């Protein structure tokens, strides 16, 4: 496990492919839990703070726009 400053702790590497179930549940007013995979045996879970989730959605939206643009014919 690596602790990178006070805002990020990393302990694994995950690839999420098409078809993988993804669920999110709100865990109080300040954080949400994201579950990827098949619970309980093959799941990866992580918790994100409210503003970190907002940032993740924003950069994810930007990434999707770029991927879609790359998918368009030249």
pLDDT digits (tens, 9 = 90+) for 52-69: 999 999 999 999 999 999
Distances (CA, A) of 33 to 30, 67, 71: 11, 26, 31
**Per-residue pLDDT tens digits for 2-37:** 666 667 777 777 889 999 999 999 999 999 999 999
Residue at 9 is within a domain: no
Residue at 36 is within a domain: yes
Cα atoms found within 13 Å of the Cα of residue 35, Cβ hemisphere only: 13
Residue at 3 is within a domain: no
Residue at 25 is within a domain: yes
Structural domain that includes position 52: 19-71
Residue at 40 is within a domain: yes
Instruction: Using CB atoms within 10 Å of the CB of residue 3, give its burial: 0 to 12 exposed, 13 to 18 middle, 19+ buried.
Output: exposed
Overall number of domains in the chain: 1
The model carries a pTM of 0.74
Residue at 14 is within a domain: no
Residue at 49 is within a domain: yes
Q: How far apart are CA 3 and CA 25, in angstroms?
A: 25
Q: What are phi and psi of 5, to 5 degrees?
A: 70, -160
């Amino acid at each position: 496990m690596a602790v990178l400053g006070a805002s990020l702790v990393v302990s694994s590497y995950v690839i999420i492919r098409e078809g993988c179930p993804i669920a999110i549940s709100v865990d109080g007013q300040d954080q949400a839990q994201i579950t990827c995979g098949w619970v309980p045996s093959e799941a990866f879970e992580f918790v994100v703070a409210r503003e970190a989730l907002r940032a993740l959605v924003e950069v994810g939206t930007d990434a999707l726009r770029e991927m879609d643009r790359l998918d368009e014919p030249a």
